[in-house]
Amino acid sequence: MELFPPLFLLNSLLIFFTPSSAFRVFRISDYSENVINAGSKVAQTITVDKSGHEAFKTIQAAIDSIPSENTQWVLVQINPGIYIEKVSIPVDKPFVFLKGIGGRTQTTVTFDGHDQTDTSSTFSSFADNVVVQGITFKNSFNLAAALNFEDEITNGVNVVKPALAARIYGDKSAFFESGFVGLQDTLFDVQGRHYFKTCYIEGAIDFIFGSGQSFYEDTLINVTVEALPSPIRVGFITAQGRSSSNDPSGFVFKGGLVFGSGQVQLGRAYGPYSRVIFYGTNLGAVVAPQGWDAWRQKGHEGNIMYAEVNCKGQGSDTTKRVAWEKKMSTSDLNKYYSKSSFVDQDLWISKLPETM
């Protein structure tokens, strides 16, 4: 798993290189700290229809039409269909609301980029204050290659490659009733505070990864390890990259369901202080008894924060979990890892535009 994006990250700075080898620097929050409070009202609505019945046939063209340093919510309403394109919201276009009409089963954005996390993602969001509802982002590369996995393995070729469906950089980004479909590295939850509500995430290897400070509520997690070549027996849901004890990042899963095929571990530690918590989640039989893997942090398991609280289901038996899994009381969970305490301290979620 390669974690270098198409720009360098340094102390919350985004450094973009141009074709002339010059570069431009943006601070992640520059376009949200100094703009007028957009409130929760949508100031403008534009519509995308792939048949050409509206002003825009592609989602990217609609985003490109939004002025830089936008200060009011713009609703991009996307009519049902399969949009074969890469979509990117640049850092200087905050307050964008992408809404798929008919829900995530009716509106899909798909592409087959692969090999690197800095070039493969179907959807990339760099701006703060972004909302997405009712859209599925899919990377079709590994899924299309699945039919040839056994032939490729026989010939000594590693056909499974990083192939991102989405990567999220901006602070205060929220996803409602949306889908993320891939096999390896499906969702790159890079950095910033993110909220996922009633979403669907599919994959097999490190398919939720990064250093975001994110709260996943009532999420369906579909494990597809049996789609991998036969030598690969166990997958990993998370690869969280928290770098220090002061790093606020982590993944918290409240409620939801883990199901699917094969065997999967809840997470492996990409960062030295990796932090992932499942609570009140229905863990299906697909969850392997060990539960977690120290991976790159073997010998430093004491710094890793992995916990399960009040989970249920066939995969929730913790008697055979790794000995270093943390124990957490319900009171500590509510104090430090509730939605309000972990990602919504300034009540930004309640200020989002209406998503229904």
Q: Would you say 133 and 99 are in contact if contact means Cβ atoms under 8 Å apart?
A: yes
How many whole angstroms separate alpha carbon 250 and alpha carbon 306?
10
How many whole angstroms separate alpha carbon 176 and alpha carbon 356?
9
Q: What is the 3-state secondary structure (H, E, C) of 13-60?
A: EEEEECCCCCEEEEECCHHHHCCCCCCCCEEEEEEECCCCCCCECCHH
* Catalytic residue from among 206, 293, 332, 344: 206
Q: Would you say 251 and 242 are in contact if contact means Cβ atoms under 8 Å apart?
A: no
How many whole angstroms separate alpha carbon 88 and alpha carbon 180?
15
189 is catalytic: no
Q: What is the DSSP letter of 3?
A: -
Q: What is the DSSP letter of 296?
A: G
Q: And the tokens for 40?
A: 């929760």
End-to-end Cα distance, the chain: 36
Give the residue from 134, 127, 140, 237 showing the smallest Cα distance to 173. 127
DSSP run (H or E) holding 334: helix 330-336
Catalytic residues: 206
